[in-house]
Amino acid sequence: MLISVQQEDFDVSAVTSELCSNRKDIGAVVTFSGMVRDQSPDQNLLALELEHYPGMTEKALEEISNSAMKRWDIDDLAIIHRVGQLKPAENIVMVVVISAHRKEAFDACEFLMDYLKTQAPFWKKEITKQGEQWIEFKESDQQAADNWK
């Protein structure tokens, strides 16, 4: 399992290769990556500021990952989440799940993202030309996570 909270960008294919290296039992690789999207009305997003709780955030990601490893027949996974100031179209987060079969990997990847969005202590603030604003928690994200219960 690879879990990282970092300022630096990541390379999805490099992380995926590392996860699969020296294995011949993997038939499915599912990756998700999230990018900074400008959702301001006038397309004037300068940056997204990502804040986290050092220590607790990593623990939360580990717990979510352990839950996925127990629940699905998957072989390994990686979660990398960036923090700090990120510009539009930059990477924010990536999740990779590898397994023998695709169904398990698809489900586990979606579960990891749904849980990460509601359980891991990260907060996003939009910095626009007009000023700064914290992004509000979305009820639909909570419902997506609740659907896995």
Partner 1 sequence: MANLLYFASLRETLDSAKEQLDLPETVTNVAELKGMLSDRSAIWKASFSSDTSLLVSVNQKMANDQTEINNADEIAFFPPVTGG
Q: Which residues bind partner 1 (CB under 8 A)?
A: 34, 50-53, 55-56, 59, 81, 92-93, 113, 116-125, 134-138, 141
CB-wise, 34 or 106, nearer to partner 1? Answer: 34
- At its nearest, how many Å lie between partner 1 and the CB of residue 25? 29
CB-wise, 105 or 112, nearer to partner 1? Answer: 112
Radius of gyration of the chain (CA): 16
Of the candidates 9, 103, 13, 18, the residue with the CA atom closest to the CA atom of residue 50: 9
Distance in angstroms (rounded) separating the CA atoms of residues 135 and 133: 6
Of the candidates 99, 131, 95, the residue with the CA atom closest to the CA atom of residue 114: 95
CB-wise, 38 or 125, nearer to partner 1? Answer: 125
- At its nearest, how many Å lie between partner 1 and the CB of residue 114? 9
